Amino acid sequence: MKFEVLASVAAAMTFALAMVGPALAADDVFRTTVGDLKVSMLSEAQREGGIDILIGASDQDVKKFIPSGKYLNAVAAYLVQSPEGAILIDTGYGTNLESNMRAVGVSPGDVRHLLITHSHGDHIGGLLNDGRPAFPNADVYVAKLEYEWSSAMRESLDKYGQSVKIIAPGELTDGGAEILPGIRAIAAYGHTPGHTVYLLESKGERLLIWGDLTHAMAIQMPRPGVTVRYDFDTEQAAASRKSVLEYLSRNGIPAAGMHVPYPGIGKIAPDLENPGGYSFEPLTK
């Protein structure tokens, strides 16, 4: 997909993630479980990202962590099949979303809850289909600050009428705020004013869906202080990334990200070679 196409998909939406280079082959879906929940990474795209989007990366670190000048990047949404029904977290651009959902046995009408991390076009591009709700039976959850910030998102959400639920995410230190059984919304502001991450829990297992906590895994894991052009508030974005990574690492909670290359989900641990940094070990099943 060319950037011009993305721009039209994301018409009037700010800062859709632009990626460079041709699409790279990767499986469209990765499936795992969290207790009773079936979690699927639904890939919208996988490509190389460029170093031009980075802010605060030293030349030395770029050479060390991104020696080729390119790193793997992706766009994904996540689907959770729970005993209470299907829950979708973000929509990606909305390009491959429906076919990927159907591949795991879920149709758009089956989605009962749609959780939004933030309002960029590569996350809410699939909200509407021909101007109508693409998920007609879903309640849509979005953080109050994000809703107030993005007029473009409000326009799309208006079509969902009373199904839109404005939420107040909790603080990480409080474990967030429970919005559905086993699902907690946590404020991770900075990338956008209301950027929200979602912690799933079932049968003692947990997974954090961290939205856009990272854009360039190759350098932002070992150097969480590196930010990107798309961050609304770079300082706050870096602070959120550091505190969430520390929390996940300390509590042994795996994470899934919307711009984490296939399989999108992995385990977080301190990076002993890079103090202050973290490693990401992708899941294999």
List interacting residues with Zn ion (CB under 5 A). 17, 120, 122, 212
Pair type for strands 85-89 and 54-55: unpaired
- Minimum CB distance to Zn ion smaller for 182 or for 263: 263
Of the candidates 118, 140, 152, the one whose C-alpha atom is nearest the C-alpha of residue 257 is 118
Nearest distance from C-beta of residue 122 to Zn ion, angstroms:
5
- Minimum CB distance to Zn ion smaller for 44 or for 122: 122
Which residues are CB-neighbours of 79 under 8 A, at least 6 positions away? 39, 40, 42, 86, 87, 88, 89, 101, 104, 106
Nearest distance from C-beta of residue 125 to Zn ion, angstroms:
10
Nearest distance from C-beta of residue 168 to Zn ion, angstroms:
22
Residue at token pair 């404020």 = 187
Task: Tell me the C-alpha distance between 88 and 108, whole Å.
Answer: 10
- Minimum CB distance to Zn ion smaller for 37 or for 188: 188
Nearest distance from C-beta of residue 211 to Zn ion, angstroms:
7
- Minimum CB distance to Zn ion smaller for 37 or for 75: 75
Nearest distance from C-beta of residue 31 to Zn ion, angstroms:
22
- Minimum CB distance to Zn ion smaller for 52 or for 84: 52
Tokens in use for 135? Answer: 């998920």
- Minimum CB distance to Zn ion smaller for 185 or for 216: 216
- Minimum CB distance to Zn ion smaller for 122 or for 271: 122
Which residues are CB-neighbours of 271 under 8 A, at least 6 positions away? 221, 222, 277, 278, 279
In DSSP terms, which residues pair with 17 in a beta bridge?
Answer: none
Nearest distance from C-beta of residue 76 to Zn ion, angstroms:
10
Nearest distance from C-beta of residue 212 to Zn ion, angstroms:
4
